[in-house]
Amino acid sequence: MDYEYILTQLSKILSSKRLQHSVGVSKTAEEMAERFGGDKVKAGLAGLLHDAAREVPVADLLPMAQAFGIVVSDIEKAEPILLHAPISAKLAESKFNIHDAEILQAIFLHTTGGAHMSLLDKIIYLADVIEPGRNFGGLEEIRAMAYSDLDKALLLALDQSISYILEEGGLIHPATIEARNDLLIKQRTPILHTT
Query: In sequence order, which residues have a C-beta less than 8 Å from that of residue 19 and are 6 or more positions away?
Result: 7, 10, 11
The average confidence (pLDDT) of the chain is 94
Percentage of the chain exceeding pLDDT 90: 90
Q: Measured between alpha carbons, how far is 81 from 98 in angstroms, rounded to an integer?
A: 23
Radius of gyration of the chain, Cα coordinates, nearest whole angstrom: 16
For the segment(s) 3-188, the CATH number from 3.40.50.920, 3.40.50.2300, 1.10.3210.10, 3.60.150.10 is 1.10.3210.10
19-52: pLDDT as tens digits: 999 999 999 999 999 999 999 999 999 999 999 9
- Which whole number is the average pLDDT over 60-72? 97
Q: Where are the domains of the chain?
A: 3-188
